[in-house]
Amino acid sequence: MIETKIKLKSSVQFIKYMGSKTKLLPFVINGIEEAYNGGVICDLFAGSCSLSGAIGEQFPIVSNDIQAYSSVIAKAYLTDWNDCKVNSKMVMEIAKEYHKKHYSTLSNNLRHTENSSLKEFNRVEKLNQNLINQEFENTWHLFTKNYSGTWWSAEQCTWIDSIRKAIEDLKENPAYNTMLGALMYAMAYNSQGTGHYAQYRDAKTDSSMKDILIYRKKSIIDYFERKLDSALEALPSIQPKLKHEVYTLDYLDCLKNLKNATVYADPPYCFVHYSRFYHAIETLVLYDYPEIQHKNKKMVKGRYREDRHQSPFSIKSKVKNAFIDMFEIIAKNNSSLVLSYSDTGMIEIDDLLKITKEVFKKHTVSVKTLDYTHMTMGRKGDRDRMVKEKLIIVKPI
Ligand SMILES: C[S@@+](CC[C@H](N)C(=O)[O-])C[C@H]1O[C@@H](n2cnc3c(N)ncnc32)[C@H](O)[C@@H]1O
């Protein structure tokens, strides 16, 4: 059991996130305590914002990630508050009215019947998927058109769109990001996938069909309402006083204006891109009807956004320079660094340490190690793997 002087808050979880540091927070915060110099703490690759959720009430945070959904979660933890003027009932009243007006005539053919055969099940799934070729007249139809029959059924997608519309109507409310977070949560727990959106499953056997049906029958509304009410309850009742900043920038742009800070860097460790695994919540947040990626003139199965970010930390030929660029700015701007990495990353720990020492000449560099079961979310055929988590701690002398 690792002890920390800083008290950690157990925060509301909005998404299941690959590489989330939630379970490793005492280890990470131990490292931050060692490096902290009294200024702001920058969570440079914030992802699901586990750090802000745990210590955002005690320190001024600069939260950054290239993905827009991360900024929504950061704001839910750092700047949202509950003025008691919204609750799940109110959001659902708007959503239900919209749904009734635009989706009550959605064809019954799109619904699965009890005890349908595998063939019949897949026929209905195909009808759902073909909605992508249909024209819609109402404004809020992005998920119904693009994602029916994928991670969600058409019915579930109509509710995602209707609730998203209701949340946008309440944009001025100080719990706006918390509402979006609750919808991301409902999407994750209704999805027939394994917690991310890289691939949805096909029903190839009776048993996979049965399992997919469990998720197809779940209610977006129930999950959304429950999550929103508990998340609202956990929010402060007055506007938070600490000055936080939240960005959706490339890490180098974020670092440029940051001086005398403590930077916590948790970059991607492996070759898969977050923009592929979490494109659906990116699209939920941006709601911008993106171009969908095609390969050889065919739409890709995962229906990814065409403009997905490709991280240099996930590309073998680029990872070394990506670290050097990061270290150089941090050294120049007199900040401290706490870097998370693992012994299964894109670059060997010894090489990483060598680069660290080459760039940070007027600094102390130390390393902490923790044995840890890593969640791979099904990527490697196994859901968990033992890895050594490392923290490289760098402080100006
Ligand atoms: C290991 S995850 C961070 C997990 C986070 N610490 C948590 O607890 O949820 C790495 C993050 O880096 C982000 N990322 C990748 N390339 C980036 C870049 N060039 N600039 C900023 N963020 C980037 C990804 O979107 C992803 O959220």
**CA of residue 38 relative to chain centroid, distance:** 29
pLDDT band at 294 (very low <50, low <70, confident <90, very high): very high
Q: What is the pTM of this model?
A: 0.96
Cβ proximity of 389 and 370 under 8 Å: yes
Backbone angles phi, psi at 135, to 5 degrees: -90, 140
Cα of 266 from ligand 1 centre, angstroms: 7
Among the atoms of ligand 1, which is closest to the Cα of residue 21? 8
Which 8-state DSSP code applies to residue 48?
Answer: T
CATH number of 22-79+242-273+312-396: 3.40.50.150
Q: What is the CB < 6 Å shell around ligand 1?
A: 17, 19-21, 45-48, 50, 65-67, 70, 250-251, 266-268, 274, 311, 313
Among the atoms of ligand 1, which is closest to the Cα of residue 48? 9
Which 8-state DSSP code applies to residue 309?
Answer: -
User: Whole-angstrom Cα distance, residue 355 to residue 327?
Assistant: 9
Among the atoms of ligand 1, which is closest to the Cα of residue 311? 16
pLDDT in tens, 27-56: 999 999 999 989 999 999 999 999 999 999
Residue found by looking up tokens 């923009």 in the block: 275
Helix, strand or coil, per DSSP, at residue 8 = coil
| pLDDT over 90 (residue 1) | no
Residue from 29, 55, 66, 308 to probe ligand 1 pocket by mutation (most atoms less than 8 Å from CB):
66
Q: How far is CA 4 from CA 1, 20, 28, 175, 283, in A?
A: 10, 19, 10, 30, 37
pLDDT band at 387 (very low <50, low <70, confident <90, very high): confident
Burial tier of 7 (Cβ tally within 10 Å: 0-12, 13-18, 19+): exposed
| CA-angle at 294, arms to 291 and 300, nearest 5° | 105
Beta-carbon contacts of residue 381 (< 8 Å; ≥ 6 apart): none
Encoded amino acid at 191, one letter:
S
| pLDDT over 60 (residue 202) | yes
pLDDT band at 277 (very low <50, low <70, confident <90, very high): very high
| CA-angle at 23, arms to 22 and 28, nearest 5° | 75
pLDDT band at 179 (very low <50, low <70, confident <90, very high): very high
- Among candidate residues 364, 368, 367, 369, the one with its CA nearest the CA of residue 394: 364
Among the atoms of ligand 1, which is closest to the Cα of residue 67? 25
Mean pLDDT of 183-205: 96
Kindly state the greatest CA–CA separation across the chain.
69
Give the chain's mean pLDDT: 95
Residue from 247, 270, 274 to probe ligand 1 pocket by mutation (most atoms less than 8 Å from CB):
274
Calculate Rg over the CA atoms of the chain. Answer: 22
pLDDT band at 251 (very low <50, low <70, confident <90, very high): very high
Backbone angles phi, psi at 178, to 5 degrees: -65, -40
Cβ proximity of 213 and 172 under 8 Å: no
Which 8-state DSSP code applies to residue 130?
Answer: G
The DSSP bridge partners found for residue 152 are 148
pLDDT in tens, 46-104: 999 999 999 999 999 999 999 999 999 999 999 999 999 999 999 999 999 999 999 99
Cα of 392 from ligand 1 centre, angstroms: 17
Among the atoms of ligand 1, which is closest to the Cα of residue 309? 16
Helix, strand or coil, per DSSP, at residue 95 = helix
User: In this structure, which residue's CA is closest to atom 26 in ligand 1?
Assistant: 47
User: Whole-angstrom Cα distance, residue 129 to residue 13?
Assistant: 30
| pLDDT over 90 (residue 2) | no
| For the chain, domain boundaries | 22-79+242-273+312-396, 88-234
Predicted local confidence at residue 107, as pLDDT: 85
